[in-house]
Structure 1
Amino acid sequence: TRGLWRLVTSLGTMPDPVGGVLPTAGLPDERAYRVQTERVLGEIADGAGGVVLGRAAAMVLRGRPDVLHVRLDGHPDRRLAAALAHLGGSEDEVRRERDAADAARTAYVRHFYRCDPAEARHYHLVVDSTELPHDAVVDLVVTAARARGIVR
């Protein structure tokens, strides 16, 4: 668990659900981190809404009729190529970052919610975004949101 918590707290340098960056000093304990994250996700969903990337939002907000859970995925090699095209940098560096981010997200969901975040049952829509043009992916998500009555 200690190794996992170090991995989870490394997420503190990633953007938080409301757009800031969590400080790495003085990070809360596991329970406080989970409770705070769930509180913020609930506030977003109860308020004006928004798009939440990660943070186990599909697990935290499951069962709500006013949300759409989407998983954007793709073959790791195609995700790497897309990241290189978008971000630049060395292939080895981008691959390491992709692998670390994937491992951290999976560990976070498994640790706190005891499930596999890759299982399609957690999402309304799963899209291989490396095989479709960006505009088509956006159209799919918007269409699904409209079908759930979320977007007009």
Structure 2
Amino acid sequence: MRVVTISATYGTGGSVIGPAVADRLGVPFVDRAIPSAVASELGVTLEEALAHDDRAESGFGRLLTGMMRLPTVTLGGVELYVPAGMPLTPDEFAARTEQVIREIARVHGGVILGRAGAIVLADHPGALHVRLDGPLRRRVLQTAAYSGIPEQEAKRVVNDNDRARRAYVRQFYRSDPADPGLYHMVLDSTVIPVTTCVELIVAAASAVG
């Protein structure tokens, strides 16, 4: 069973490249299914689970960037609002997310986007770990073009999401997601076309898997 983890900064096409790689390898693409599975296992709502997810632009990212200013706690050096009575703690979410990722890799294989997959599955036999990145300016331009929003707004979205995803990895794993030592392959997908990125990842996954 092929396993590929993809860490993608915002604006690098991870949500396009990931499914394409999964389709080529004949394995599931795992992204939004993770918070849903965690919510089900913990007996909380999907909204509560998404509040702690590193890929939920309307959840974890917004909380970490201070868009809600109510009673706060400190998470990874950043103040965030925690809704009163919310039963799901950040540590619970991270621990259950790890369990879901490991189970998916063991039972089904798959292409796993985000959630520190390269760290969680660092010792998984045959797993390929990929980083998609690129200069901020090009990522902002790609986001603006894809979303149809002004460049200044795209820059805010990119920066907000970058901060949230860095905070997630640093808080729970004391690591920098930009560390190239975590990955077998680092691609600048703001320059390398999507189809070429997919081909490179598929070829590498086939070689190591």
1:131 and 2:191 aligned: yes
State the Cα RMSD in Å: 1.9
Aligned mates of 2:95, 2:32 — CA distance in 1: 14
Q: Which residue of 2 aligns with 1:29?
A: 89
Q: Which residue of 2 aligns with 1:105?
A: 165
Q: For 1:34-62, what per-residue CA distance to the aligned partner results, in whole angstroms no more than 9, with x for missing partners?
A: 11110111121112122211101111110
Q: Which residue of 1 aligns with 2:121?
A: 61
The alignment partner of 1:142 has SS state of: helix
How many matched pairs?
Answer: 135
1:89 and 2:113 aligned: no
Query: In the alignment, residue 117 of structure 2 is paired with which amino acid?
Result: A
Q: Which has the higher strand share?
A: 2
Q: Which has the higher helix share?
A: 1
Query: In the alignment, residue 23 of structure 1 is paired with which amino acid?
Result: E
Aligned mates of 1:27, 1:102 — CA distance in 2: 26
Query: In the alignment, residue 47 of structure 2 is paired with which amino acid?
Result: P
Query: In the alignment, residue 169 of structure 2 is paired with which amino acid?
Result: V
1:70 and 2:130 aligned: yes
Which runs of at least 4 in structure 1 moved beyond 4 Å after TM superposition? Answer: none
**Contiguous gaps of at least 5 residues in structure 1:** 1-14
Query: In the alignment, residue 29 of structure 1 is paired with which amino acid?
Result: T
Verify the 8 A CA contact 1:70 1:124 in the aligned structure 2. Answer: yes
Q: 1:18 aligns with which of 17, 31, 34?
A: 34
Aligned mates of 1:81, 1:131 — CA distance in 2: 12
